[in-house]
Amino acid sequence: MPTYTYTAKDHQGQKFSGTIDNALTVSDVRDELQKMGYSLVQAHKKKKRQGTSKRVTQAEVVEFTFKFAGMYSAGLGVMHCLEVLQEQAENLQLKDIIADVRERVTSGATLRKGFEPYEQIFSSYFLGMIEAGESSGELSNVLNMTAQYLENKMQIHQKVKHAFTYPTVVVCVCGVVVSALIMFVVPMFSKIYTRMNVPLPGPTQFLVMVSSLFHNWWYLIIAGILILVFGIRHWVKAPNNRLRVDTLKLRLPYFGKLNRLVVVSRFNRTFATLVSVGVPLVEALDVATQVAANAHMSQITETLKDEIQAGTAVAKAFGSHDIFPSIIIHMADSGEQAGRLPEMLIKGSEFVDKDIDRIISSLLVKLEPILTVTMGSLIGTILLAVYLPMIDYMNHLK
């Protein structure tokens, strides 16, 4: 629906301004105001700002949370913090989101309810922590913990992303080179060999056939690739298939251990942070499994909830599932014995994060030479197949 800005009068004749976003026409604005006992003076549709609005990034969410935590810890009220953050926001989409949150909170909603429509941007973890902070009266500490957690999560994501940047670039460059050879170099040499009446060996014939296929049916090949990609994405969205894919990710050679540690780190740190601010164990497990974003982990969480509700210790419940590293289980056991479960679980997550760094470094050391040799061998094989007839022809001349 469009947003209208209006000027209205109350019973004493005092004018005030505001916005309304559940009206289609000026008449609807007038009717809404009359229901509240006000009379409309003027209203006009709010124009959408163009050119500078963009998607809210995770880095912007982290920056927003740190600023919110800092200002609230310094003694500013929630509404004052949101007002300042709205003014400072450079991203128009984020600015509009903060404005909407302010409006909802002003209308009587809790801070969690204010952010709830934007769960996809701020995450279920953020909402759970805000709710815990409001109910416990520890919003200042909760905001600081949330900011630190979101920053840590973003850093892990960036490390994993950067680790695969080099392999991705190498594969893409190799794909471009191979495509150029097949599309342009092979046809040129094929014409030369045809004019020279040179017999083509098997590898060259195969290469010419592939080149001809690309030249004559490139649009069908592209269409087939797109259909395959969209088909796989649609197939993965089905719950049973998503479970199979997520389980496979955790069992892959070399990469499976890395995926398991990343999932456990997200899950464990979220669970520990929520428990530390007073969220019940079962509710903390629900939020943690959403943050982990893995269907196999969600399946494990259902079992964990049943075990913990039945009175099983957290460490024992974790120990019955091989996805959790021994360090997490030992830390949970020590934490329960000492009455410091959240603190010890967070310590365990820090150890897991260090393992993630080591595995990423180790994978890069192994991947770089493997990719270099593989890509070089592929390009070399294509070039050899191209020049084989020329070599045979030169040998015949001798």
Whether residue 300 lies inside any domain: the answer is yes
The answer to whether the beta carbons of residues 55 and 93 sit under 8 Å apart is yes
168 and 98: one domain? Answer: no
The answer to whether the beta carbons of residues 254 and 327 sit under 8 Å apart is no
Per-residue pLDDT at 22: 64
355 and 332: one domain? Answer: yes
The answer to whether the beta carbons of residues 292 and 267 sit under 8 Å apart is yes
Residue 104: CATH number of its domain: 1.20.81.30
Q: Which residue has the higher pLDDT, 1 or 123?
A: 123
Whether residue 50 is predicted with pLDDT greater than 70 in this model: the reply is no
Query: 38 is in which domain, residue-wise?
Result: 4-45
**pLDDT mean across residues, the chain:** 85
201 and 330: one domain? Answer: yes
Whether residue 273 lies inside any domain: the answer is yes
234-281 pLDDT, tens digit each: 888 888 888 899 999 899 887 889 899 989 988 998 898 888 888 889
- Please give the average per-residue pLDDT across 15-37, as a whole number: 75
Q: At which of 130, 147, 163 does a domain end?
A: 163
Whether residue 53 lies inside any domain: the answer is no
Whether residue 331 lies inside any domain: the answer is yes
Per-residue pLDDT at 51: 38
Q: How many CA atoms lie within 13 A of 352 on its CB side?
A: 31
What's the domain count of the chain?
Answer: 3
List the structure tokens of 109. 């909603």
List the structure tokens of 266. 């997200």
Whether residue 234 lies inside any domain: the answer is yes
Q: Which residue has the higher pLDDT, 170 or 330?
A: 330
310-329 pLDDT, tens digit each: 999 999 999 999 999 999 99
Whether residue 383 is predicted with pLDDT greater than 90 in this model: the reply is no
Give CA separation, 170 vs 165, 182, 191, 376, in Å: 9, 18, 31, 11
Whether residue 394 lies inside any domain: the answer is yes
186 and 204: one domain? Answer: yes
Q: At which of 163, 179, 203 does a domain end?
A: 163
The answer to whether the beta carbons of residues 388 and 204 sit under 8 Å apart is yes
Which range, 123-132, 179-188, 307-316, 351-360, has the best average confidence (pLDDT)? 307-316
30 and 98: one domain? Answer: no
Whether residue 52 lies inside any domain: the answer is no
User: Can you say whether residue 37 is alpha, beta or left, with left for phi > 0 and alpha for psi between -120 and 50 degrees?
Assistant: left
Q: At which of 104, 133, 163 does a domain end?
A: 163
363 and 255: one domain? Answer: yes
Q: Specify the long-range contacts of residues 277-282, CB closer than 8 Å, at least 24 apart.
A: 277/129, 277/132, 277/133, 277/136, 277/138, 277/141, 277/142, 277/145, 278/132, 278/135, 278/136, 278/138, 279/128, 279/132, 281/308, 281/314, 282/308, 282/309
Per-residue pLDDT at 287: 85
349 and 324: one domain? Answer: yes
Whether residue 280 lies inside any domain: the answer is yes
- Global confidence as pTM: 0.69
288 and 254: one domain? Answer: yes
Name the residue type at position 265.
Answer: S
172 and 320: one domain? Answer: yes
Per-residue pLDDT at 21: 67
Whether residue 372 is predicted with pLDDT greater than 90 in this model: the reply is no
388 and 312: one domain? Answer: yes
269 and 371: one domain? Answer: yes
267 and 128: one domain? Answer: no
